[in-house]
Chain A
Amino acid sequence: MKILVPVKRVVDTNVKIRVKADGTGVDLANVKMSMNPFDEIAVEEALRLKEAGKATEVVVVSIGTDKSAETLRTGLAMGADRAILVKTDAASVEPLAVAKLLKAVIANEAPGLVILGKQAIDDDSNQTGQMLAALLGWPQATFASKVALGDSSVDVTREVDGGLETLRLKLPAIVTTDLRLNEPRYASLPNIMKAKKKPLDETSPETLGVDASPRLTVLKTVEPTGRTAGVKLGTVDELVAKLKQAGVL
């Protein structure tokens, strides 16, 4: 079985982002970029399924500019077999358009399972996996903390409010990852070198016949109203008094 893993290039999770003063967005110039952390978990899960003999090939896909090829190389260095870049010059592509592009890629690739991160840590949409499932008419299991892949179905344990639940999905199916699913591996230097020789194909929204134009208009982006540092207190009793005063005890 082939597993497809879409990955997104995002601002590294350790970077403190800066909102542009003119309200036009977040400053991405000269900022460290990485693979979306939830997508790393998705790649890792696919690789583990392959290593367990339950999958035969892991294909990573990204939608973005030339630079998204770096993110795909990261996936290849982790152990994915090949990569597909859907190249676009758009500054950002909305989840609905991403889902349509992925649907078109899937029509060519015919994977048995697609594993995605539950959300990207830049736009925090948490939509793409569910939308892709809808467009394909496939079942979905979001926020996975355990994936047990069978021949014609997959059992997925999901992190839901208040605990866990397990669903059985008929294949082909969509799974999105939550934090507890696994600890992604680091790519070793030899594997990073090897990844440079693995196939990376390019296509485009035009070739795939998908209209990727946005539906939402971002009117402005601002910093949240900041918190100011409060007071440092001397004793526990002072703290208790302040908390009572604030009405939170």
Chain B
Amino acid sequence: MATLILAEHDDAHLNEATAKTLTAALALGQPVDVLVAGQNAKAVADAAAQLTGVRSVLLADGESLANRRAEPLADLIVSLAGQYDAIVVPGTSTGKNVAPRVAALLDVMQISEITKVVSPDTFERPIYAGNAIETVQSSDKTRVITVRIAAFPAAAAGGNAPVETIAAPGDSGLSSFVGADLSVSDRPELASAKVIVSGGRALGSAEKFQEVIAPLADQLKAAIGASRAAVDSGYAPNDWQVGQTGKVVAPDLYIAIGISGAIQHLAGMKDSKVIVAINKDGDAPIFQVADYGLVDDLFTVVPALTKALAN
């Protein structure tokens, strides 16, 4: 049999999450087809066809798929499922939204956010926000899997797979798209940023948070994160929160500024490649996970670091 992966895209561009999902899917050892579901998404299908290791690209193009609402998208995937013994979906907001709907319609138990393929039916996945790693084996006829994107490298370009057009599903009319308000910030998204500068309660106020954190983030082209304590104190908006109940991130570089390192914060960032901690309190738990620490006053060190990086 074969594996089907769902492409992550915005109708114009193929998202890198697709190439990472492909790497996980290829580890199952079967031929891999890529489903591109969208509206006017031919360019995306052509880009997917160039990923190395793809057998063929299925392009379903139609109005019902314009915003990848879960109901029509799940119906489409289920209609294809008979030809596949694994359906692998990126752990993006679109993927996490649709995959369980597919799994339930197929009466199978989804394996969420895998970080490693042990064998075609056995996977590692983090639980308790990464504080434990579970190895699970599936006994279902079809495996429905979502992939923790940060855990897999992107498959290379260099392929030339055929693109086959398939019919888009009808629309049940259960849901409709009202609108989107996508952030136009120049900063990268927190969830996928390569560098994150995060601030904690020691910043003392929303003004200081901006004044100290933003210039360093600008200098590093980084996303800005915050500890729950900083969010609860009103220094930073809730969607910046990194932690067990916020966003779980794994950038190449994570700079924690004035963050003591509560358990629930560490759970959200400890898989970062390199962690830097800047904190006045040398005994703060954040230093137990940091690769490099500066025990000093953040209000002098951070501007100095920003300046040093500018030179």
A residues in contact (CB < 8 Å) with B: 11, 13-17, 19, 26, 37-38, 94-96, 99, 121-135, 137-143, 155, 158-170, 179-180, 214-224, 227, 229-233, 236-237, 239-240, 242-243, 246, 248-249
**Residue contacts A-B, CB under 8 angstroms, 18 given:** A17-B128, A19-B131, A37-B245, A124-B126, A127-B99, A128-B100, A130-B100, A130-B104, A132-B104, A134-B104, A137-B174, A170-B175, A216-B109, A218-B134, A219-B137, A221-B135, A223-B132, A242-B292
- A179 touching B178 by the CB < 8 A rule? no
Interface pair A221/B132, CB less than 8 Å apart: yes
- B1 within 8 Å of A (CB atoms): no
Asked if A161 and B181 make an inter-chain contact with CB atoms under 8 angstroms apart, the answer reads: no
Taking a contact as CB atoms under 8 Å apart, the answer to whether B112 and A220 are in contact is no
Q: Taking the nearest CB of chain A, how far is it from the CB of B155, in angstroms?
A: 20
CB-CB under 8 A from B156, the residues of chain A are: none
B292 touches A239 (CB 8 A): yes
Q: Which of A179, A180, A215, A232 touches B140 (beta carbons < 8 Å)?
A: A215
CB-CB nearest 4 A-B residue pairs: A163-B182, A130-B100, A215-B109, A131-B104
Q: Does B238 contact A (CB under 8 A)?
A: yes
The answer, yes or no, to whether B210 is at the interface (CB within 8 Å) is no
> Which residue on B lies nearest to A118, using beta carbons?
B96
Q: Are B181 and A232 in contact (CB under 8 A)?
A: no
Q: Is the interface of B mostly helix, strand, loop or mixed?
A: mixed
* A129-B140 Cα distance, complex, nearest whole Å: 20
Q: With A and B bound together, what is the CA distance between A246 and B99 in angstroms? A: 37
Interface SS of chain A: mixed
**How far, in Å, is B245 (CB) from chain A's closest CB?**
5
| Contact partners of A219 in chain B: CB under 8 A | 122, 135-137
Interface size classification for chain B: 35 or more
In the complex, the chain A residue whose C-beta lies closest to that of B111 is A216
Picked from A14, A165, A227, A236, the residue with its CB within 8 Å of the CB of B177 is A165
> If A140-B70, A162-B189 touch, does A236 touch B301 (CB 8 Å cutoff)?
yes
* CB neighbours of A161 from chain B (8 A): 92-94, 189, 191-192
Closest chain-A Cβ to B115's Cβ sits at a distance in Å of 10
Nearest-neighbour CB distance to chain A for B164, whole angstroms, equals: 27
- Given contacts A126-B100, A130-B101, A131-B101, is CB(A222)–CB(B191) below 8 Å? no
Contact residues in B for A231 (Cβ distance below 8 Å): 291-293
Q: Is B167 an interface residue (CB 8 A)?
A: no
| In the bound complex, CA of A2 to CA of B39 (Å) | 37
The residue in chain A whose Cβ has the minimal distance to the Cβ of B102 is A134
| Residue of A with least CB distance to B192 | A161
Q: Which residues of the other chain, B, contact A222 by a CB distance below 8 angstroms? A: 132-133, 135
Chain B residue at minimum C-beta to C-beta distance from A240: B308
Contacts of A224 in B (CB 8 A): 126, 130-133, 270-271
- Cβ-defined contact, B308 with A134, below 8 A: no
B74 within 8 A of A: yes
Query: Would you call B178 and A233 a contact (CB within 8 A)?
Result: no
**Chain B 66-125 interface residues, beta-carbon cutoff 8 Å to A:** 67, 69-71, 74, 92-94, 96-105, 107-113, 122, 125
Complex interface: chain B residues within 8 A of A167 (CB): 69, 175-178
A126 touches B292 (CB 8 A): no
Q: A126 contacts which chain B residues (CB < 8 A)? A: 96, 100, 112-113
The answer on a CB contact under 8 Å between B174 and A138 is yes
Could you say which of B25-33, B53-61, B201-209, B281-289 contacts chain A? B281-289
B278 and chain A: residue at smallest CB distance: A239
